[in-house]
Amino acid sequence: MVDPSWPSAPFAALRDSILHEDDSIRILNKPSGISVLKDNTGKDSLADLYEEVFKEPPLWVHRLDKGTSGVLLVARKHEARRNLQRQFDKGEIEKSYLALVDGAPPEKRGIIDLPLEKARKGKFRIAQTGEGLPSQTDYEVLEQRGDQTLLLCRPKTGRTHQIRVHLQALGCPLARDPLYGLKRGKPSKEPHLTLHAWKIRFRHPESGESMDMEAERPGWAK
């Protein structure tokens, strides 16, 4: 189980976060609040800690936002990275996220099919019809909790901030999100999101075996 004090006790927490490892890949349960790559806060990134702990450079296959927790797939060989990136490009890797949102979507399940484009200050927004990058997210209501809802989200594309912008456009933004939530704040001051990369399914880059990995639900998603 990931040490909740991360990143104040980063090295032990990074070792404890391993969900799976072999010669080709390493799968981590990333906590909320630490950037995968260096950001403007000056704090250690996951890349910094990874190389120091494992004595090898991380070969990123995909990334998670600083405030997003959950399954993070890292290649350990360049061949493995190329194989996994091809799987992502072909839409063969399935990702499932848990999201706690304010309000509720209009339907119990549905598809958000809205293109995205860059906005100011690192944000993204819904693009005009026929413009932007095609983006699609499937969602399903898991539980109603008063004026909040726990959703299962399956992104079919992998755009930056995709789930966050799509849920905002649906009228039910993440319950905690300094950029797109109802209560705006400074991202560096409030890095934690109610968004968790819960499950991932892919083919092992060497054996071809189907793998299903799951990161324990954080407290707000239980």
DSSP string, 147-185: TEEEEEEEESS--TTHHHHHHHHHT--BSS-TTTSSS--
List 23, 39, 48, 65, catalytic entry:
65
Q: How many CA atoms lie within 13 A of 147 on its CB side?
A: 4
Please name which of 34, 37, 35, 2 lies closest in space to residue 18, comparing C-alpha atoms. 2
65 is catalytic: yes
Tokens of 171: 């009228």
Rounded CA gap, 97 and 195, in Å? 7
Tokens of 173: 């933004």
Q: Does residue 165 contact residue 124 with C-beta atoms inside 8 Å?
A: yes
* 53 to 11, 50, 206: CA distances (angstroms): 7, 5, 25
Please identify which residue in the block is written with the tokens 């549905």: 110
* C-beta neighbour count of 116 within 10 angstroms: 22
C-alpha 64 chain-centroid distance: 4
Q: Which residues are catalytic?
A: 65
